[in-house]
Amino acid sequence: MKSIMKKKSIATLFIAFALTFAFGLCMLATSHKFAYAATTYFDNVSVTLDENIKVNIVIKAPDGYTQAKIDFSIGEGQETVTADIQNGTATLSTGLVTPQYMNEEVTVTVAYTSGNEKLDVTGTISAKRYLDEIRSGSAEKYGELPFAYEDLKLLADDLLDYGASAQNYVDYNTDNLANGGKVGGNEFKATGSDYKKTGGFTWYVGAEFDYSVKPVFVFKTPDNYTLSEDVTAEISCNEKNATAEIVPENGTYRVTYDDFDLLDAEQPYTLTVKENGKETASVTYSLKTLAQTAKDEKLSALLKDTFVYATSAVAYSNDKKVKITKLEYKGESLKVRIDSTIEFDGKVTATYDNGKSEEITVQNPVLKKVLPEEEVTIGKKYTVKVEAASDSTVYTEIPVTVEKFLQAENATIAGGEKKTETEYVYKNNSYVAIGDVTFAGGFVSAVQGGQDAYVEFEVNAATDTKVDITLRCANSNIRRDGDYYYMEPLKINTIADITVDGTPVTIGDDVVLAGTGNENRPKDFSPLYNIYSSFTFADVNLKAGKNTIRLTFKLSSIGEKNYWSESPSTMNIDWISVTSK
């Protein structure tokens, strides 16, 4: 068995590899903004792999123009196409970008016409630049499932490797290869041979690059053997069968597999010669085997990159068929502040019909958000629905928690005052100022003097409901140990009461404002007053309508004293949050 190869021009070589995508199995129909020319008239660029590797341009016409003629030119190639302008736009395509020209600029000249008026606009595009944008983009930008986008990037890399091999094969601009001289995509890793034969013919196998990739078989019969007049050639590949013409050629016979589909690049193909309806001889081969056995180094590289490009296209094409069968949200409920609309930009977990699962951001066009349009209020239930864009019956619902948020200094304050001081955090073994904080505080004098000392605020509820009330506060329970100060935790029910419309709310012993810890002790106590943490009153009942909530300070019910021998009956209150259940 011997290998043969018929070498054609690179233009037909390019079309050969591309035409096999005509079955719609692989489409890079995503687009990007046309950043390379007069963007007033050019809208976006895309690449499709269908009848060939086409570069498409969407043009925007000025008002009043009804027709456009566009001239594409690259190297010595030129192509002119025309289009009627519909709703101010038209899409035009060129197949001039043969693989050795993949990183070259295509000059685009558009002539808009309207009656006797004409407007010419010129710009440039580049297939490589477009592929580079795919490689540096995101699944959200191109509306791909995340795993499919990874395969799309590999396909873009493999196309550039294919272009570089074509440049090397025809010795064109080899100092500026499409892939930068470095293989960016998948490597050819196919091993093993699919070659086998039956009968006594001598076989030569190869491929012809014309308007499609066409495997070629040449066979020679044994000496003194004459083929029957009733002889046929049948070719099978991947459960597809075809008949082919047997052409006598200088004492041999040539059979070309015209119907070969490049997307079957991994599959062996078998030619069977039959005489009088019965098998005489057969041979089996494959593109991967041909790539391994080609003797010419550049040709072998081109065949290998063709094989890799084809298998990547198959992988991406299969990805495009994958369906989302289940969506799940595994995060916390979405917190939305009252009198605002609901928005969600997080992630959900998708499960596919191929068994894979992964997280997808809801910004990805493969998903659709269904948001409540009304402004939220305490006491009503809300959800965000996230569904598969291709099947609205596949969805998940994200619970919404409604929050009324109030800066404490804006509440009703009795026995205290609005203040602004420096806030501190404990960082790198020291207390560090991080900026000013405004709060309600200074209640201790009123408490010591038996006067009213409270903060009070109102919350409206749509229905009878339960809420959590959270306060962000700084402690006042300062203690001294020698030359150092620290803050003890403060049990809230010992120094404060909470009521709703005058009805007391039970405060559990576990509601505690944290201290600073005995190990983080400064010599100056002033930062300790403005170390903030939060605590929550859980499951507080509200009625439908207006609710008045009051937190009242009192002398310590357990006789606790701070460093100044005072009841620690005050807190610096930064904010108050009421959250629906």
- Domains for the chain: give ranges and CATH numbers: 186-294 (2.60.40.10), 324-404 (2.60.40), 411-580 (2.60.120.260)
3-state helix, strand, coil in the chain (%, to 5): 15, 45, 35
Structure tokens at 318: 């299969």
Structure pTM? 0.73
Q: How is residue 427 written in tokens?
A: 């960082």
pLDDT at 7 over 50: no
Closest to 413 in 3D by CA, of 528, 552, 318, 266: 552
Q: Please give the Cα distance from 42 to 59 (Å, whole number).
A: 5
**Half-sphere exposure at residue 292, Cβ-oriented, CA atoms within 13 angstroms:** 14
Best CA proximity match to 127, nearest among 88, 165, 100, 90: 100
535 near 576, Cβ under 8 Å? no
| pLDDT score of 212 | 52
pLDDT tops 50 at residue 23 = no
Beta-ladder partners of 114: 117
Cβ-contact 302, 169 below 8 angstroms: yes
User: Regarding predicted confidence, which is higher, 211 or 328?
Assistant: 328
Q: Above 90 in pLDDT, residue 129?
A: no
- Beta strand ranges found along 475-544 (DSSP E): 478-481, 484-487, 490-491, 496-500, 503-505, 512-513, 532-542
Whether residue 17 has pLDDT greater than 70:
no
* Residue (of 364, 314, 395) closest to 144 by Cα position: 364
Q: Mind listing the pLDDT tens digit for each residue in 104-125? A: 888 888 888 877 777 777 877 7
List, in order, residues 6 or more apart from 9 with CB less than 8 Å away. none
**What string of DSSP letters covers 336-355?**
EETTS------EEEEEETTS
Element holding 573 (H helix, E strand): strand 572-580
Residues in the chain: 581
Counting other chains too, the contacts that 362-368 makes at CB distance below 8 Å and 24 or more residues apart are 362/386, 363/140, 364/139, 364/140, 364/143, 364/144, 364/145, 364/146, 365/140, 365/143, 365/389, 366/143, 366/144, 366/145, 366/324, 366/390, 367/327, 368/392
Predicted confidence (pLDDT) per residue in 508-534, tens digit: 999 999 998 777 889 999 899 899 999
- Residue 79, pLDDT > 80, answer yes
> 423, 410 in Cβ contact below 8 A?
no
Q: With 70 as the cut, is the pLDDT of residue 34 above it? A: no
Residues 6+ apart with CB under 8 A from 491: 509, 511, 512, 558
Helix (H) / strand (E) element for 308: namely helix 297-320
pLDDT tens figures, 251-293: 899 999 988 887 788 899 999 999 999 999 999 999 889 888 8
DSSP string covering 453-493, please? -EEEEEEEESSSEEEEEEEEEE---EEEETTEEEE--EEGG
pLDDT tens for 189-246 read: 888 889 999 999 999 988 776 545 688 999 999 998 999 999 999 999 999 999 999 9
